[in-house]
Amino acid sequence: MTEIEVLDRDIQGLKQLLNLAWEDLASKSFTPYEFREKRNEMDRCAAELRDRLKSIEVERQRTRDQFQGHRKPQGQKVSLRLLG
């Protein structure tokens, strides 16, 4: 399993946790303490989700850069011409 696949699996799991937490908040009545604890848990989960999304973007960019590096040598300019 590649790093991108692992990150993607983590992201899907975190999204599912957040969705379930929102459903819990909507369907149950919580004491103020329980509500605050649930929101803190959701905030931590959302922060972890943001970190994973940043990581996957960095990994994808690195993969794109490696792929483009194989396609053309570094420092070579591409000449474009408009046809009209």
The predicted-structure confidence for 66-75, as pLDDT tens digits, reads as follows 877 665 555 6
Average pLDDT over residues 44-60: 93
For tokens 């931590």, the residue is 44
Range 11-45 burial, b when 16+ CB lie within 10 A, else e: beebeebeeebeeeeeeeeeeeeeeeebeeebeeb
**How much is the mean pLDDT over the chain?**
86
Average pLDDT over every residue of 18-40 = 92
Higher pLDDT, 65 or 47: 47
- For the segment 40-62, the average pLDDT, to the nearest whole number, is 93
pLDDT of the residue at 71: 59
pLDDT of the residue at 14: 94
82 has pLDDT over 80: no
